[in-house]
């Protein structure tokens, strides 16, 4: 659903909603990164908090108290600080987020094997097979909400309906810390009261194209002949939007969905031209990517880098490894080779990123051991570092080249993501 905000009634009918046949749930953590970070800073609960860094980085998340001042995710930190100068800024802790995400997903899997994660903090569930043992879909949704807050100390919102599309809209309207049931016989009326921006696949350009046709609500799309839509928007988009306008979404919950890639990027506070610093950053980012792969029990075959220069021109390069890996040293070796192959080591750089793609589960991928690898090699060393980080905090064990003389970080702001 579009991040653009809109207000619609939460229900069409009156009284308690009928959840018969509403076996699709969309569960979404509320301000996940901010809520997770506050577990270690309980004194900040109820105050404006922004998760991010300084310089030219962007907001990863913000509490609802900060959002009231206009702070949103992906907003430049400089603007967020201007909008809410009283906010406390906390740097992101991706290891903590991955740990909580795994625990939340285990809660979902305790209800149904049909869980489709969309990211660390949201997933679709098909609870059709659980209703006989656990109660109605709404009862199951409330059980999940209670268990998440009890075990993890964070809240989630749940949309309950007969299709994925409507369940996702419902969870957004239920935020924060709520649940919304859209009965199967009210789906069409519910959907058609929405603005066109609520439909999956409607970005700013598509919204502008629909506005040129005079279509501003989903009801407008529903009343428009399919042929008109396909002629103006293309067959795929026109058909897709017409189906959604009538509440049709045949997609089931896909429990085998995996992230396509894991990556980290860093934006410098000032443009950097020193190749030694760039290599340090590549190493640091590779360490973070490797740690998150291992936390998610994933390995990948393709390593890519992104370099954005001072003039905002951006290049990406990638190479495939012989064997899939989650070893930080292997990721860094490939990333460094890609950077040096650019032949622009003295160019001024604004941003650099490392990403691993072509992911598969590490449990099902055999590990290839080279003849010159010691009995306890780099993979074991990485996992020892992971254990130390879990016990003593991220960054407790780091390569010596990433430490400045004062023991601090050699470089500046970073951002991680999973696609």
Residues designated as active site: 122
Q: Measured between alpha carbons, how far is 273 from 27 in angstroms, rounded to an integer?
A: 44
3-state secondary structure at position 333:
helix
- Tokens (6 digits) for 335: 């990333």
Q: Measured between alpha carbons, how far is 398 from 96 in angstroms, rounded to an integer?
A: 17
- Tokens (6 digits) for 34: 């901010």
Q: Measured between alpha carbons, how far is 207 from 195 in angstroms, rounded to an integer?
A: 10
Distance of CA 327 to the CA centre of its chain: 23
- Tokens (6 digits) for 58: 């962007």
Instruction: Confirm whether residue 271 is marked as ligand binding.
Output: no
> E strand or H helix at 228, and its extent?
helix 226-233
Q: Measured between alpha carbons, how far is 417 from 61 in angstroms, rounded to an integer?
A: 13
Instruction: Confirm whether residue 386 is marked as ligand binding.
Output: no
3-state secondary structure at position 418:
strand
Yes or no: say if 51 and 63 are a contact pair by the CB < 8 Å rule: no
Binding-site entries? 28, 121
List, as residue ranges, the binding site for Mg(2+). 28, 121
């Amino acid at each position: 659903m579009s991040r653009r905000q809109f207000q619609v009634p939460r229900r069409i009918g009156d009284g308690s909603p009928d959840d018969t046949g509403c076996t699709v749930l969309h569960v979404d953590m509320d301000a996940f990164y901010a809520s997770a970070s506050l577990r270690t800073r309980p004194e900040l609960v109820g105050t404006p908090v922004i998760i991010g860094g300084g310089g030219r980085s962007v907001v990863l998340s913000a509490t609802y108290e900060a959002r009231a001042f206009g702070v949103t995710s992906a907003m430049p930190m400089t603007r967020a600080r201007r909008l809410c100068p009283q906010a406390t800024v906390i740097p992101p802790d991706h290891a903590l987020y991955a740990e909580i995400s795994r625990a939340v997903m285990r809660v979902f899997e305790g209800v149904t094997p049909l869980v489709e994660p969309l990211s660390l903090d949201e997933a679709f569930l098909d609870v059709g097979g659980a209703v006989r043992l656990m109660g109605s879909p709404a009862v199951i949704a409330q059980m999940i909400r209670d268990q998440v807050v009890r075990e993890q100390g964070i809240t989630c919102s749940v949309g309950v309906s007969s299709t994925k599309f409507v369940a996702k809209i419902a969870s957004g309207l239920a935020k924060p810390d709520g649940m919304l049931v859209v009965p199967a016989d009210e789906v069409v009326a519910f959907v058609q009261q929405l603005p066109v921006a609520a439909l999956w696949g409607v970005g700013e350009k598509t919204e502008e194209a629909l506005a040129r046709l005079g279509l501003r609500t989903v009801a407008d799309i529903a009343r428009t002949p399919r042929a008109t839509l396909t002629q103006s928007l293309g067959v795929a988009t026109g058909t897709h939007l017409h189906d959604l306008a009538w509440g049709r979404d045949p997609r089931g919950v896909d429990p085998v969905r995996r992230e396509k890639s894991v990556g980290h990027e860093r934006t410098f506070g000032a443009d950097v031209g020193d190749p030694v610093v760039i290599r340090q950053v590549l190493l640091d980012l590779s360490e973070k990517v490797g740690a998150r792969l291992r936390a998610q029990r994933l390995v990948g075959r393709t390593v890519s880098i992104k370099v954005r220069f001072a003039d905002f021109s951006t290049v990406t390069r990638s190479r495939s490894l012989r064997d899939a890996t989650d070893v930080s040293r292997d990721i860094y070796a490939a990333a460094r080779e890609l950077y040096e192959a650019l032949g622009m080591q003295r160019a001024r750089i604004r941003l650099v990123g490392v990403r691993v793609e072509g992911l598969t589960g590490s449990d099902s991928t055999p590990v290839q051991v080279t003849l010159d690898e010691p009995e306890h090699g780099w993979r074991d060393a990485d996992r020892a570092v992971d254990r130390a980080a879990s016990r003593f905090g991220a960054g407790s064990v780091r390569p010596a080249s990433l430490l400045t003389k004062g023991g601090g970080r050699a470089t500046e702001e970073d951002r991680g993501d999973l696609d």
